[in-house]
Every structure is written in structure tokens, then in C-alpha cells.
């Protein structure tokens, strides 16, 4: 059974990489002109699709890496570096700009009926950062109990994302531009620290294997 520290680390890492509050304005942009019922349908479908994608990587990601000859420590270093880049973008608000551009592309290509799958589920919710974080955490939480706990955490976070989508207009109004900017930078700083820890752990494991 995972320890309390492992559970907290897994929850915080995935919460920051999924960034539900940061998705609220993007969801509003993607669903502009839709009725409340249609927004509910998009929110449910996007959350469910993202959940199953992340669970798939949590359960079989390590097997795929092994088949490709990639060690967990090596992936931990690579994943940590990727998460650090995402954190850097969050601190300087580049990630928000990319999300808004994805929303604009989806609307201009008349993909209104498929936005739950793309770009909401992929790559906005279950993006490279969330997938990498899921793989990294699954390596730290082995065994049936560990993977079951990870899947439960993913379920909670996807449910939270759904709730944020439902309350997107209220959250966006409450936070405002200043609130979103402060929250994004704070979460980015936390993610940067977690990313450095992932890289450090990976380097130590590789060094131990060599020695």
C-alpha cells in the first residue's frame, strides 16, 4: 500500500499537470454558443475519455517502456525535464496561450461535435505532461494496491475536472485575469519543484545501477 507521502505527491503532481482551473476559460471558448445541457454532455464525455487514456498509461505504460528498452529511471529523468518545461510555461503563461490557440483551431475547423475528444480530452486534459506524470507515478506505486490507488486518484481528478467544466463560467468570473495569473504561476512553481525531484531521483537510480 502506498505511503501517505506517496499519495500526496501523486495527487499534487497530477492536479498541477491536469490544471483544471486553467482549463475553465478554454472550455468556455470551445463551447461558446452551446446550451447548458450541451456543455454538460461535452464535459462528461471529455472527462471520461481523459480518464481512460490516463488509466491505460498507468496500467500498461511500464510494459510499453520495457518493450522499447527504456528504463524507468531514464524515463523519470526525461519526464521530469518535460514537466519542468511545462512548469516554465505555466510561470510565464505560455501554456494558457497554447490552450487558447487549440480552442480557436477546433472552432474554425467546425469540430464542435468532437471537441470532447479533441482538443479537450487530448491534448488539453490528458496531455504529454499528464501522461508523463502518470507513467512516472505508476513506477513509484507498483503492485495491485498501488495501481488501484493511482486509478482512484485519476478518477477523483477527472471528476474534479468535470466539476470545473460545469462551473467554468463562475470560476472564470471569480478568479478574473489577475487570479488566473497568480494561480498559474503558483502551480507552475510547485510543478517545477516536483520535476526537479523526479530528475534527481532518476539520476540517483541510474548512478546506483551503474555503480
Task: Give yes or no for residue 205 having a pLDDT over 70.
Answer: yes
pLDDT in tens, 38-59: 888 889 999 999 999 999 999 9
Per-domain residue ranges for the chain?
Answer: 4-210
Supply 13's cell numbers.
Answer: 503532481
The residue among 192, 7, 174 whose CA lies nearest residue 86 is 192
pLDDT band, residue 109 (cuts 50/70/90): very low
| 182-207 mean pLDDT | 81
For the stretch 61-87, pLDDT in tens is 888 888 888 887 887 788 788 778 877
Average pLDDT estimate for 17-31? 80
The residue that leads in pLDDT, 33 or 193, is 193
- Tell me what pLDDT residue 196 has: 87
Nearest one of 2, 43, 4, 17 to 154, comparing CA atoms:
17
Grid coordinates representing 76 are 523519470
Mean pLDDT, residues 180-185: 75
Mean pLDDT of 20-38: 78
Residues 169, 170, 171, 175, CA torsion sign: positive
Instruction: Quote the pTM value.
Output: 0.71
**C-alpha span between 196 and 149 (Å, rounded):** 24
pLDDT for the residue numbered 75: 76
For residue 162, pLDDT over 90 is answered with yes
* Exposed/middle/buried for residue 163 (C-beta within 10 Å: 0-12, 13-18, 19+): middle
Amino acid at each position: 500500500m502506498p505511503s501517505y507521502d506517496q499519495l500526496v505527491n501523486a495527487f499534487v503532481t497530477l492536479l498541477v499537470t491536469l490544471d483544471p482551473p486553467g482549463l475553465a476559460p478554454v472550455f468556455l471558448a470551445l463551447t461558446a454558443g452551446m446550451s447548458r445541457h450541451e456543455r454538460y454532455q461535452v464535459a462528461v464525455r471529455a472527462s471520461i475519455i481523459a480518464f481512460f487514456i490516463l488509466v491505460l498509461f498507468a496500467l500498461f505504460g511500464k510494459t510499453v517502456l520495457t518493450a522499447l528498452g527504456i528504463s524507468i529511471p531514464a524515463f523519470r529523468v526525461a519526464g521530469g525535464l518535460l514537466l519542468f518545461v511545462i512548469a516554465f510555461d505555466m510561470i510565464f503563461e505560455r501554456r494558457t496561450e497554447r490552450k487558447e490557440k487549440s480552442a480557436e483551431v477546433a472552432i474554425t475547423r467546425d469540430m464542435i461535435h468532437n471537441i470532447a475528444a479533441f482538443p479537450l480530452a487530448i491534448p488539453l486534459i490528458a496531455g504529454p505532461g499528464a501522461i508523463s506524470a502518470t507513467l512516472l507515478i505508476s513506477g513509484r506505486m507498483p503492485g495491485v494496491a498501488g495501481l488501484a490507488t493511482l486509478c482512484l486518484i485519476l478518477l477523483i481528478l477527472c471528476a474534479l475536472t468535470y466539476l470545473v467544466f460545469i462551473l467554468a463560467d463562475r470560476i472564470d468570473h471569480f478568479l478574473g485575469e489577475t487570479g488566473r495569473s497568480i494561480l498559474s504561476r503558483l502551480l507552475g512553481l510547485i510543478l517545477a519543484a516536483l520535476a526537479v525531484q523526479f530528475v534527481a531521483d532518476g539520476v540517483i537510480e541510474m548512478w546506483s545501477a551503474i555503480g
